[in-house]
């Protein structure tokens, strides 16, 4: 089996309304987060990279469907040189509630699924929407995903809740010198991490802070780059594709 040029841990989800007090939902959160995830997936796959993430109902179908766009272009390669574009870690605690469409996507040749054990008999209950469940099983999944995957060259955070924060802590512990890219305009835990980064930068009494890279482009910067300084529109659509390619370009040029 071949190997990807680089591997990225994708930490992403759409914050739920029930937990919006802590994990702020931006306007049109679902649309923005989906666009960001799709842009990252396309940039990674088109540059011979691989995505790793913990299965999530708002993320798994998006990434798997983007991966199918690249399936035909890989068909001419020799079989032994192929590698899964996507590695998804999925807990047995959620198997019974996974939609049929998602289960079908998990069976694609371009997707590798690693099932992890449910802990202490945990099982997801569909009648408790929006609230944390199966915490022990998810912690076990994240620990295996990050500590048994080697190497992971970078982490990208989009939206999210406590799971994203936990994955960042684990990733920094395992790969302290590898970058964590934040897209704080997607809200949720990622915006909280941005504030943590800024706090580290203003506190000189603290030890070396996390290796966070805040990926932001303001409207004026975008207008100048596009030659649209005189545009009558106050805000432009956020350039997730531009940011995704910027991140991947950095990873390709970075010696690991």
Higher pLDDT, 252 or 76: 252
Instruction: Give the percent of the chain with pLDDT over 70.
Output: 84
Q: Please say whether the beta carbons of 191 and 206 come within 8 A.
A: no
By residue count, the chain amounts to 256
Q: Which two tokens stand for residue 177?
A: 């010198």
Please give the Cα distance from 153 to 133 (Å, whole number).
29
The answer to which of 72-76, 180-184, 251-255 has the lowest mean pLDDT is 72-76
Beta strand extents in 186-248 (DSSP E only) = 212-214
- Tell me the three state secondary structure of residue 206: coil
Q: Please say whether the beta carbons of 161 and 118 come within 8 A.
A: no
* pLDDT tens digits along 53-88: 999 888 999 999 899 998 777 665 555 668 899 999
Q: Which domains does the chain have, with CATH numbers?
A: 6-253 (3.40.50.450)
Please give the Cα distance from 67 to 108 (Å, whole number).
10
The answer to which of 31-45, 66-80, 141-155, 174-188 has the lowest mean pLDDT is 66-80
Top-confidence range, 53-67, 98-112, 208-222: 53-67
pTM of the model: 0.89
């Amino acid at each position: 089996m071949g190997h990807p040029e680089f591997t990225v841990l994708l930490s992403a989800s759409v914050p739920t309304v029930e937990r919006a007090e802590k994990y702020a939902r931006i306007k049109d959160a679902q649309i923005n987060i989906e666009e960001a995830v799709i842009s990252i997936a396309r940039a990674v796959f088109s540059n011979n990279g691989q995505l790793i993430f913990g299965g999530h109902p708002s993320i798994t179908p998006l990434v798997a469907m983007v991966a199918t766009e690249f399936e035909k272009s890989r068909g001419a390669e020799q079989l032994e040189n192929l590698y899964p574009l996507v590695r998804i870690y999925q807990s047995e605690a959620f198997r019974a509630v996974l939609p049929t469409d998602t289960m079908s996507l998990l069976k694609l040749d371009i997707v590798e699924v690693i099932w992890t054990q449910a802990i202490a008999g945990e099982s997801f209950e569909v009648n408790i929407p929006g609230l944390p469940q199966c915490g022990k099983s998810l912690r076990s999944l994240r620990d295996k995903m990050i500590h048994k995957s080697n190497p992971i060259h970078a982490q990208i955070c989009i939206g999210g809740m406590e799971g994203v924060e936990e994955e960042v802590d684990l990733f920094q512990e395992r790969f302290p010198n590898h970058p964590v890219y934040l897209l704080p305009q997607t809200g949720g835990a990622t915006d909280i991490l941005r504030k943590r980064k800024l706090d580290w930068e203003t506190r000189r009494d603290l030890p070396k802070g996390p290796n966070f890279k805040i990926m932001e482009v303001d409207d004026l910067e975008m207008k100048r780059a596009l030659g649209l300084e005189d545009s009558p529109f106050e805000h432009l659509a956020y350039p997730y594709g531009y940011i995704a390619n910027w991140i991947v370009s950095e990873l390709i040029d970075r010696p690991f």
